[in-house]
Amino acid sequence: MTKVIIIDDEPLARGIVREYIGAYPQLEIVAECDNGFEGVKAIAGYQPDLIFLDIQMPKINGFEMLELIENPPAVIFTTAFDEFAIKAFDAHAIDYLLKPFSKDRFEKAISKWLGAQSRPLPEGLSEEASSPESHNRVVVKKGQNIVVLPVQRIHYFEAFDDYIKIHTAEGFYLKKKTMAYFEKTLDAAQFVRVHRSYLLNLQELTRIEPLEKDNHVALLKNGTRVPLSQSGYAKLKSVLGI
Partner 1 sequence: MQQPKSQLHFFALLYMGWCLLWAFIQFFILRYYGLTFSQSVRDAALTQSVIMLDGYVILTIVRYFRHTWKNSAYIIASSLMLAYLGWVGLNEVLTYFPADENYLTWLKNVTVIRFVFMALMVVITGVQGWVLVYIREQQQNELLLKENERMVREAELSDLRQQLQPHFLFNSLNSISALAATDSTLARKMIEQLSDFLRGTVKKNANQLVLLSEELQHLQLYLDIEKVRFGHRLVTNIKADEAALSLRLPSLLLQPLVENAIKFGLYDTIGEVIISLEAKATQGYLFVEIKNPFDAETSIPKTGTGFGLRSVKRRLSLLFYRNDLLTTEQKENFYITTIKIPQKELVTEN
**Residues within the interface to partner 1 (CB under 8 A):** 9-13, 15-16, 19, 34-35, 37, 56-59, 80-81, 98-101, 136-137, 147-152
Nearest to 144 by CA among 45, 43, 41, 69: 41
First to last CA, the chain: 64
What's the order of all strands across the beta sheet hosting 225-228? 205-210, 216-220, 225-228
Measured from the CB atom, the residue of 5 and 139 that comes closer to partner 1 is 139
Q: What angle do CA 95, 83, 128 make, to 5 degrees?
A: 70
35 versus 178: smaller Cβ distance to partner 1 = 35
Judge whether 149 and 165 are in contact, CB under 8 Å.
no
Neighbours of 109 (CB within 10 A): 22
State which residue, 121 or 148, has the beta carbon closest to partner 1.
148
- Closest approach, Cβ 87 to partner 1, in A, equals 16
Residue number with CB closer to partner 1 (37 or 198): 37
In 3-state terms, what secondary structure has residue 42?
Answer: helix
β-bridge mates for residue 141, sequence order: 146
Q: What is the DSSP letter of 91?
A: T
Nearest distance from C-beta of residue 144 to partner 1, angstroms: 16
- Least distance in angstroms from the C-beta of 30 to partner 1: 20
Which residue's CB is nearer to partner 1, number 103 or number 225?
103
| Shortest distance in whole angstroms from residue 219 CB to partner 1 | 26
**Residue 148 main-chain phi, psi, to 5 deg:** -100, 115
Q: Closest distance between partner 1 and the C-beta of residue 18, in Å?
A: 9
Q: Which is nearer to partner 1, 15 or 115 (CB)?
A: 15
Min dist CB 218 to partner 1, Å, is 24
For residue 197, give the amino acid letter: S
Query: What ranges in 47-146 are assigned the alpha helix state H?
Result: 62-67, 85-90, 103-117
